[in-house]
Amino acid sequence: MRQGAGPQLRRNFTALAVVSIAYLVLTLFVTNSYYQLILTLVPVWALFGVSWNILSGYGGQLSFGHASFFGIGAYTVTLAVVYWGLSPWLGIPLGMLLGGLAAILIGMPTFRLRGHYFALSMLAYPLAILYVLQYLGFQEVSIPMHRGNPVTFMEFSEPRLYTLIAVLLLVGGVVVSMVIENSRFGLALLAIRQNELAAEAAGINARLWKMRSLVVSGMMAAVAGGFYARVLVVVTPDSVFGMLVSAQAVVVTLFGGVASVWGPLIGAAILVPLAETLQAELGTFLPGIQGVVYGIAIIAIMLLSPDGLFWTVRDRWFRPKAAAPLPDLIPTSAPARPATARAGVTLLKVENLSRAFGGLKAVSEVSFSIAEGEILGIIGPNGAGKTTLFNVLNGVIPADSGSAELAGRPMLGRKTFEVCRMGVGRTFQVVRSFPRLPVLDNVIVGAYGAGLSDRDAIAATVRALHDVGLQDQASVAAGQLTNKQLRLMELARALAGHPRLLLLDETLAGLGREECDSVLHVLARLREQGVTICIIEHTMHAMMRLADRFVVLDHGRVLATGLPRAVVENASVIEAYLGKKWLARQHA
């Protein structure tokens, strides 16, 4: 569990218990069978919304095809009764398994896509399944009655029992969702949603976490679908795989509040009774009124309160209290950094590294090495290939040829998060933060990425925050930091994973003289602690003070390497920076 999760989870569990008991008491007073059905459907659609929320709310992977999983659950339960005489008590778990399996099959190709391509592709799956089912002749399948032993087949004469089961299923789903939200799983998803590359560079295996969230989500959706089929008895491809079904999950969650466990519950509790009542009252002469209401609801919510009702209400009337203070673990109990540097031992060795974009050789035959404990400055004019070099080392883009080894282990050909786990921290030219997460969570992502346990992760995070001097900003959202603080926070995120090597991409860019000095101070202190640093920088005076050695790049090639003084006096370096004429005039 994450820092401070305990009390929050306890509060949420209590609230959940109170709400579900109140809901069940309410059902005792309802005798109209149609309203009883609505009371059963509210938790079913809420559960479906909760499942969508895990993938699309927390993880930001917008799915318009969640009906795939819902429908798979529904058809599994129905067909299992029809063909094998399998009770829904077993059919629903079976549907859940198939839902999870479908999630893996769908996720494997589809997670190669991002953004709206992902959303559009997800849309295609339920529709393709829908047509196939129609072709196979499953236009309308109903669950046969088993009058002999009704309870074994989940057939109750008392409709409130269905409501009870629905509420229990929903409680299960919400508990899963709460646990995810308060664990590293949820944090990984939030980080991926806000900045996938930064999450990868901090050691988060984005693909894996996305896949896990899809599997959990798919299983949950299949349970909702399976139970829905049992309640309604009849399934048609349109009623469980149709567009309106996928929309249902999106609508209740967005309306209630995205990325909050309560969102889908609020959305379903308001919209499902509303739409059902309208359908019942006006459906005969206004068919499709339900869809119109949903359409208006999501447009209105998107324009008026884009994050949903829960967040708007909370922000307006229930300002969250200040977050728990930083635990007092520092710096004595924090684990010492692993190996202190052994001077002279080569840490990073790059040989003949090349990478071209079409005809442009961005990095060409670059070789250099960094000793442990050293600060190497990489300088060069704009377009010299400095950032590309980092991207290649970091696994963001593949190299064309050459090799790079970290302490004898090859780095190339690994994914970004794997490179991070080898002990390479990275910051970016344009800061990549998770703007809506507090600084503490931003930094702890780096510790989790390195695979630390919850306790060690907190300790490493606190220590990193102290190292860069951000301990007082720990609970501030990253979006509210100044440029300098953002740079330091990114540095702390890289440090939290106990890197052996830091790749810093223009950490000083855009900083004023004084800010620059204070960041330099932090870097100098890191050097004293034995961190090896490779830094890209334009500001020459800063580099002269900081770096032990320079590598000068120009047009993708290494122009010169050596001690700072020697390099800045090198004629070809001056030429690259200031031009031939300037050099000629100097000599004249």
Partner 1 sequence: MDLEILIENVLNAVTAGITIGAIYGLMCIGLGLIFGIMRIVNFAQGELLMLGMFSSFYLVTGGKALSFLGPYWGPFVGAICAAPIVFAGGALLHKFLISRVSGLRTAGSLDEGHFGQLIVTLGISLILQNGGQIVFGSTPVAVRTPLSAEAFLLGPVYGAATVFLNKAKLIAFFVAILVAIVLYLTLEYTRLGKALRAAADNPTAATYMGIEVDTAYRIAFGLGAGITAVAGGLMASYISFGPFVGFDYVIIMYSGVVLGGMGSILGAFWGGLTVGFVQQFSALILPPQLQNAAIFVVFLMIVLLRPQGLFGRSADRA
Binding residues (CB under 8 A) for partner 1: these are: 62, 64, 109-110, 112-117, 119-121, 123-125, 127-128, 131-132, 134-135, 194, 197, 243-244, 247, 250, 254, 286-292, 294-299, 302-303, 306, 387, 390-391, 394, 396, 428-430, 505
Nearer to partner 1, 298 or 470 (CB): 298
Task: Specify whether the backbone of 86 is left (phi greater than 0), alpha (psi in -120 to 50) or beta.
Answer: beta
Identify whether the C-beta of residue 238 lies closer than 8 Å to the C-beta of residue 118.
Answer: no
Structure tokens at 99: 């839902």
Report, in Å, the least distance between residue 251 CB and partner 1: 8
Report, in Å, the least distance between residue 23 CB and partner 1: 28
Structure tokens at 186: 């949820």
Nearer to partner 1, 15 or 296 (CB): 296
- Residue 580 to residue 259: CA distance in whole angstroms: 58
Q: Three-class SS of residue 504?
A: strand
Report, in Å, the least distance between residue 300 CB and partner 1: 8
- Residue 111 to residue 152: CA distance in whole angstroms: 40
Report, in Å, the least distance between residue 434 CB and partner 1: 11
Q: Which long-range contacts (CB under 8 A, 24 or more apart) does 359-364 make?
A: 361/555, 361/556, 362/388, 362/556, 363/388, 363/389, 363/392, 363/399, 363/556, 364/555, 364/556, 364/557
H-type alpha helices, 182-330 = 184-194, 196-201, 206-232, 237-241, 243-256, 262-282, 289-304, 309-317
Q: Three-class SS of residue 304?
A: helix
Which residues pair with residue 357 across a beta bridge?
360
Nearer to partner 1, 135 or 156 (CB): 135
Rg of the chain, C-alpha, whole Å? 29
Identify whether the C-beta of residue 233 lies closer than 8 Å to the C-beta of residue 143.
Answer: yes
Report, in Å, the least distance between residue 123 CB and partner 1: 7
Q: Counting Cβ atoms within 10 Å, is residue 116 exposed (0-12), middle (13-18) or buried (19+)?
A: exposed
Hey, what's the torsion of the CAs at 23, 29, 32, 33, to 10 degrees?
50
Nearer to partner 1, 128 or 168 (CB): 128
Report, in Å, the least distance between residue 137 CB and partner 1: 10
Nearer to partner 1, 146 or 436 (CB): 436
Nearer to partner 1, 116 or 580 (CB): 116
Nearer to partner 1, 322 or 430 (CB): 430
Nearer to partner 1, 159 or 499 (CB): 499
